[in-house]
Amino acid sequence: MESISVTNKQKMAKLPEQVNINLIQTSSIMYNNSKKYSMLSYEMNKGIRETLFIQSPLFNSIVEVEKYNDYVEMYFMIPQDQNGIKFINFIDNIEQRLIQLAFENKANWFKNKENIKFRSVIKNLDDDNNNKVIKFRMPYNIKTKRIFVDSLDNLNSSDSEMINISDIDDTIGQGQVRLIINVNAIWFTDDMFGLYLRPVYVEEIRQCDYHFQDQYGVSYFIDSEIPNNVNITSNKVDNNVNKLNSMLSTFQEDCNSNKKEIKMEKLKGSNCSNGKKKSKLFNIENSESYDNQSVNKNNNQNNINNYDSDSELELELDNDD
């Protein structure tokens, strides 16, 4: 029997704007260790439900970190860019959906109690409500990866390492963080309820450091030092200098004893017959004396062109029959 290779099933997280809030369904009330909750699911097709995973925006900073024995709580500042606004709108819409369901199920969920409050997962960091923060509770064994990218415009990278959630610095400074979040359940107390978002994967993104490569074997200066492997002795230098002086002395003596004068006289030529052009004859005579010898040299010259805490948005639910 052939063996069948099994690979891990991959879950593709949805972007917040891809979720139809009306397709979120609740389970019956459940209890676990005196905790009361209702599981949430997403109805893909009629009768087919699955767990809903959404992708967070890139969080640029962590406002606060609280560490406990089994888990850590992190407060992330939600960016004010387009993705951050879409994320906030998604959370607001799903919470409004839960409040609507609470009215519809108040007898079953709250035993017809009055003044039930709703706690939002988003909090306002300051009084002007511009800066918003979201809190996530994560166990220390949550899958956490650190990746290194060339640009935040392309987050696909094979350069990564697995880390612990506690390794993420509380100010981030060097990178951004994004999460895949399971829209998990509704939690209940005697007089309050709220949405529980369970992170299942954390990714810290850092941009690569750039370094110049040292260049070796290239010199931009003329080396005026004599290499060690060149052996120059004073005797050889002296002999060459003496030979040169001797040659210059001999040349000077020859010039003084054999001076010649070159004279050029232009002779008049006779007219040529038959329409021929006139011809000029030059007589070059040697003379035993002359004062100076002129030498003209023409040198050709080459032209060289040198060429960058949860915000608590409390909503009272009055149970009006």
Q: How confident is the model at residue 291 (pLDDT cuts 50, 70, 90)?
A: very low
102 contacts 320 by C-beta, under 8 angstroms: no
Three-state secondary structure call for residue 98: helix
Confidence of residue 22 (pLDDT cuts 50, 70, 90): very high
In which element (H, E) is residue 250 found?
helix 234-257
Q: In whole angstroms, give the CA distance from residue 75 to residue 65.
A: 7
Q: Is 145:160 a contact under the CB 8 Å cutoff?
A: yes
> What confidence score (pLDDT) does residue 83 get?
95
Q: What one-character-per-residue DSSP string does 24-72 give? A: EEE---EEETTEEEEEEEEEEETTEEE--EEE---B--EEEEEE-SSEE
pLDDT band at 40 (very low <50, low <70, confident <90, very high): very high
Q: Where is pLDDT greater, at 278 or 196?
A: 196
Question: Once rounded to an integer, what is the mean pLDDT over residues 182-186?
Answer: 96
CA angle centred on 63, ends 145 and 98, rounded to 5°: 85
Closest by CA to 139, choosing from 76, 202, 189, is 202
Q: What is the reported pLDDT for 74? A: 92
For residue 150, what are the contacts with CB-CB under 8 A and spacing of at least 6? 207, 208
Q: Does residue 270 carry a pLDDT above 50?
A: no
Q: Quick one: CA torsion of 189, 190, 192, 198, rounded to 10 degrees?
A: 10
Q: Is 293 exposed, middle or buried (0-12, 13-18, 19+ CB in 10 A)?
A: exposed
**Is the backbone of residue 115 left (phi > 0), alpha (psi -120 to 50) or beta?**
left
The predicted model scores a pTM of 0.63
